[in-house]
Amino acid sequence: MRNRFWEIDCLRGIAILAMVFFHTMFDLNYYGVHSTEFELGFWWWAARIIAGSFIFIVGISMTINYSRSTQFERFAKRGARIFVLGMAITLATWIISPDRYVVFGILHFIGVAVILSYFFLRFYWLNLLLGIACIAIGIYLHTVYFSFSYLMWLGLTPADANYMDYLPLLPWFGVTLLGVFTGKLLYPQGQRRFRIPAREDRVTKSLGFLGKNSLLIYLVHQPVLFGNIYLISLI
């Protein structure tokens, strides 16, 4: 893969490590091995910061990829593949927990965001303004509940919602657009605007490896964690 930026891979690697740790704690709580409160305080913020970091990096990466290929089909195919993986997560979690499963989680969101972002990649300051607007609207919608569920993917949450890993387009698409703005600011035409020395130490290589394989790690780590912690809960 040509012209990868090691700092982006490392940031993505840190994010995937944080997500694995968060899901470990979540699974321990789910099986009653260790009690943790996820609905408020530190863990509530941690979940959103971790997800937000992935989504922000998606926006940055989109600008770099766009500078190398402007073909819509390339972005559409990648977004569709990620969305299909999200639907596989929906099916798996519905089988495991039919009362509370992933309906529109991070993979669903990223799949849709990759496709939608394409139409904003030519803009610069507009992405900053629209990003802030999307976040503001999404925060407001979080305080309102609706009697229907067919627009829950947009951010219109039904009153009886009990979703796992729920990331609607509003406000999260705003984070993607802020990432696009930052990508165009720091990596214009797919090149660094700043100078940063290459790093070849073990930590950087390890984080970079995780970042390059973050999608695979995301797909594999939960079944592994879920199975092992389930076995622990039986002891």
At 21, which amino acid appears? Answer: F
Between 11-15, 92-96, 224-228, the lowest mean confidence (pLDDT) is in 224-228
- Report the chain's mean pLDDT, rounded to a whole number: 92
Domain membership flag for residue 96: no
Rounded Cα distance between 120 and 106, Å, is 20
Close Cβ partners of 27 (under 8 Å, ≥ 6 residues apart): 222, 225, 226, 229
Domain membership flag for residue 148: no
Strand partners of residue 158: 146
User: 188-215 pLDDT, tens per residue?
Assistant: 999 999 888 888 899 999 999 999 999 9
Q: Are 158 and 146 in contact (CB under 8 A)?
A: yes
| 180 has a pLDDT exceeding 90 | yes
Give the chain's domain count: 1
Domain membership flag for residue 225: yes
pLDDT at position 1: 44
Domain membership flag for residue 88: no
Domain membership flag for residue 179: yes
* CA 130 to mean position of chain CA atoms: 19
Which residue range forms the structural domain that includes residue 121?
A: 6-80+107-137+168-234
Between 37-46, 56-65, 162-171, the lowest mean confidence (pLDDT) is in 37-46
Domain membership flag for residue 101: no
Q: Are 41 and 71 in contact (CB under 8 A)?
A: no
User: 24-51 pLDDT, tens per residue?
Assistant: 998 888 878 888 888 788 999 999 999 9
Rounded Cα distance between 141 and 28, Å, is 31
Domain membership flag for residue 163: no
Helix (H) or strand (E) holding 177: helix 169-186
Highest mean pLDDT among 20-29, 88-97, 171-180, 193-202: 171-180
What is the DSSP code (8-state) at residue 162? -
| 126 has a pLDDT exceeding 60 | yes
| 81 has a pLDDT exceeding 60 | yes
| 226 has a pLDDT exceeding 80 | no
